[in-house]
Amino acid sequence: MKTIILAEKPSVARDIADVLGQFKRNQGYLENSYYIVTWAIGHLAELANSEDYHPGLKSWSRETLPIIPDQFVLRAAERTKNHWKVVKSILKGKHKEIINACDAGREGQLIFNYIYLLSKCKLPVRRLWLSETTPAAIQKAFEKLEDETKYYFLGLAAMARAQADWLVGINGTRAYTLAHKEPKEKGALSIGRVQTPALALVVERERQIRNFEPETWWEVTAAFETDSGTAYRGKWVDDNKNQRIKDESRAADIVARVKHCRGKVAEETERQEVKPPPHLVSLGDLQKQANNIFGYNAAQTLEIAQSLYERHRLITYPRTDSRHLTVDIGYTLSNRLQTLAGHYGDLVEKIIKNPVPAQGVIDDTKVSDHHAIIPTEYARSITKLTPDEYKIYDLVARNFIAGFYPPAVINHKNIITQVAEEHFITSGKTIEQVGWLQVFNTDGFESEAECGLPTELKEGIEVTAVNAASKHCKSQPPRRYTDAKLISALENASRYVDEETLKQALKKSKGVGTPATRAAIIERLITSGYIIRQGKYFVPTPKGEKVIGLVPEELRSIKLTGEWEQKLNEIELGRGNPAAFMKGIHQLIGMLVDTAFNGEREEI
């Protein structure tokens, strides 16, 4: 009898087969004397549609809501039904065991569990946990196969969350569409547990901009010159180092009194800043950097990273929220640097003899499903990459290399020039030790620019204010969200809740959504007509603003996700009760439907 290996994607299945030996290619699977390797193509099995429970639910009506199945059922995804027949046939055959090689994490576990349950497979299961698909990594993972029961509670939590999201999505979308959509408008009013709070962030920022009342003030700058001709500029400050002057006449008086007056450098202060190397990147970090530097949206970066992982095998698993590495990966760092030496020769040459990663990078306790994104040991020429692929790979590689460099040391110097009993501050900085900054000292990256002060400017030296001027200033409204800022807001959702237990739950879950879903959430808001891209910024549409005005606080607030994550985490640890969690969801759904129909009708 043979062992079945079920991967999540065809490319991973092929990589596994390449390691395990000669395989014959068949329609939908690979086979040799010992193994049958097949794949899922994502969610091959999924939660059934509402009409699958009862034909009458295909029509939308108030009388059918809320829709709460007594027991959830699964169905084969319509788009991959033909492949499902192949996989089901394999799983129903007489075989030794099945190895779950779906992506390592909650979603990958859910994909496997659904397939296993829908096929009514009874084979014993072992788990293959992969963070990269290089031959060496696959071989090592096969040497450490684990019993699937270790991931039982992870699977329970994944299914509970999927069912809860299904209930909120189906009932919320139908209720608000029936209650508020204008009859002539096509499509539904999409409602979701994650997308609605994300939309609320964009709408709230727009309201802040719309209601913003600028604050005005004046600033005074002066041009100084030493007796030897050294010129520099300073900005007026009060005794508390505040640069804002509320009264225009006060600013004009300062200008008049200091212009052409003699003064002196009254104070000189220095401080040293030690900047540690940047942390390794999670998917969110990579998306934010790519958006800020190259203008890529979150979905583009994820797609490119997937290609670098699956097709080129040049980076490790990208859908991770970790910035750290495990001890096991720590033993491979020298080999990874050697692989990079061919393209990053000078940068790698300086550290290859004694490659010590930055303190705290290797920490098993801070790695959940997958470690940070780093280059693989696969020595494939990066010249085959497209320009976009190269840019993302280069980001991953430089962040990785920078982690082996010493901190940058920057000296900051301030002087206070006193003229006519007024004080002006002048600041400068010099780089004492370039450290890791040299890794990013290339085109396309923002460098740390030096702006040192003239060495002549010492305390006590006399100067002349050769000119002075005031400037009328006003505060600016908060900026709209970009991909980078919205992803950051979703990652750091804990800042939007006050209750400490929920704050901690959101910190543990690392925000709203997952690294794999945040890009899709943003794109769904666009396709639903709730937000648009205006340049690099997101702007809510009137439709999006109306939706947020209609849904209850419980659904638009990030607090709901915090409560869910708190309970799902308990289930994942084996301490929570899935039935109790779902009972609370049923109560939420009842309230959600009632709110949709009981409020004043507003057509969208």
CATH number of 261's domain:
2.70.20.10
For the residues of 538-583, what is the DSSP string, one character each? EEE-HHHHHHHHHS-HHHHSTHHHHHHHHHHHHHHTT-S-HHHHHH
Look at residues 347, 377, 402 and tell me which one is the last residue of a structural domain: 402
Take residue 232 and report the two structure tokens written for it. Answer: 């520099």
Question: Which strand (E) or helix (H) includes residue 588?
Answer: helix 578-598
Question: Are 29 and 138 within one domain?
Answer: yes
Residues 43-50 have a mean pLDDT of 94
Which amino acid, residue 16? I
Which amino acid, residue 386? T
pLDDT over 70 (residue 242): yes
Question: Which strand (E) or helix (H) includes residue 479?
Answer: none
Whole-number Å distance between alpha carbons of 421 and 440: 44
User: 221: closest CA among 202, 189, 245?
Assistant: 245
Q: CA 158, 160, 164 angle in degrees (round to 5)?
A: 120
What is the helix, strand, coil percentage profile of the chain, to 5?
45, 20, 35
Instruction: Please tell me the predicted confidence (pLDDT) of residue 61.
Output: 94
What residue numbers bound the domain in which 546 lies? 157-211+479-598
Query: Which residues belong to the active site?
Result: 317
Which amino acid, residue 394? D
446 is a domain residue: yes
Tens digit of each residue's pLDDT (9 = 90 or more) over 334-361: 999 999 998 999 999 999 988 888 888 9
Look at residues 449, 474, 499 and tell me which one is the last residue of a structural domain: 474
Tens digit of each residue's pLDDT (9 = 90 or more) over 123-169: 999 999 988 888 888 999 999 999 999 999 999 999 999 999 999 99
pLDDT over 70 (residue 458): yes
Instruction: Please tell me the predicted confidence (pLDDT) of residue 444.
Output: 65
Q: Would you tell me how many other CB atoms lie within 10 Å of the CB of residue 302?
A: 24
Instruction: Please tell me the predicted confidence (pLDDT) of residue 516.
Output: 80
Whole-number Å distance between alpha carbons of 321 and 329: 17
Tens digit of each residue's pLDDT (9 = 90 or more) over 404-430: 999 999 999 999 999 999 999 999 999
User: Which residue do the tokens 């290996």 mark?
Assistant: 5
Tens digit of each residue's pLDDT (9 = 90 or more) over 292-311: 999 999 999 999 999 999 88
User: Which residue do the tokens 């604050």 mark?
Assistant: 215
152 is a domain residue: no
Instruction: Please tell me the predicted confidence (pLDDT) of residue 184.
Output: 64
Question: Are 415 and 270 within one domain?
Answer: yes
Question: What band does 502 get if pLDDT is binned at 50, 70 and 90?
Answer: confident
Handedness of CA 496, 502, 507, 512 (dihedral sign): negative
Tens digit of each residue's pLDDT (9 = 90 or more) over 589-604: 999 999 999 877 777 7
Question: What band does 498 get if pLDDT is binned at 50, 70 and 90?
Answer: confident
Question: Are 183 and 244 within one domain?
Answer: no
Instruction: Please tell me the predicted confidence (pLDDT) of residue 586.
Output: 96
Q: Which residue has the higher pLDDT, 478 or 186?
A: 478
Tens digit of each residue's pLDDT (9 = 90 or more) over 470-490: 999 999 999 999 999 999 999
- Tell me which of 29-43, 61-75, 345-359 is least confident: 345-359
Domain count, the chain: 4
Look at residues 374, 402, 430 and tell me which one is the last residue of a structural domain: 402
Question: Are 24 and 101 within one domain?
Answer: yes
Question: Are 458 and 490 within one domain?
Answer: no
Q: What is the CATH number of the domain that holds 64?
A: 3.40.50.140
Q: Which residue has the higher pLDDT, 185 or 568?
A: 568
